[in-house]
Amino acid sequence: MARPTKPVDQSTFAGQVGARIRARRWRQKLTVQAAAELAGMPAPTWYHCEDGRHLALDRLPAIAAALECTVRSLIPPG
């Protein structure tokens, strides 16, 4: 069963990146489980990245590859 999504707190850098990750995943029509598998990480880790609770910058290349985008597109401007 899919975990319900909660609003992302975009007041932090991690939250802004998480919102971009979630939006891109939705555009790609991927489930969290599928996206996490493509990125080679556990689904709970992906959830944490999307929620903005934890974002290890070293995971961004794998996340970007799974979402077929660039790391730069996941980083908010300025």
Residue 78's nearest CA partner among 19, 18, 16, 22 is 16
Domain range for 55 is 13-74
In-domain check, residue 22 = yes
* 61 domain-assigned: yes
Contact 48, 39 (CB under 8 A): no
Domain membership of residue 7 (yes or no) is: no
What pLDDT is stored for residue 55 in this prediction? Answer: 81
Q: Evaluate whether residue 4 is within a structural domain.
A: no
Query: What's the CA gap between 37 and 32, in Å, rounded?
Result: 8
What are the pLDDT digits (tens) for 18-34? Answer: 999 999 999 999 999 99
Residue 2 lies in a domain: no
Here the CATH number for the domain that contains residue 45 is 1.10.260.40
pTM for this predicted structure:
0.88
Considering the domain boundaries, does residue 1 fall inside one? Answer: no
In one letter, which amino acid is 71? Answer: V
* 51 in any annotated domain: yes
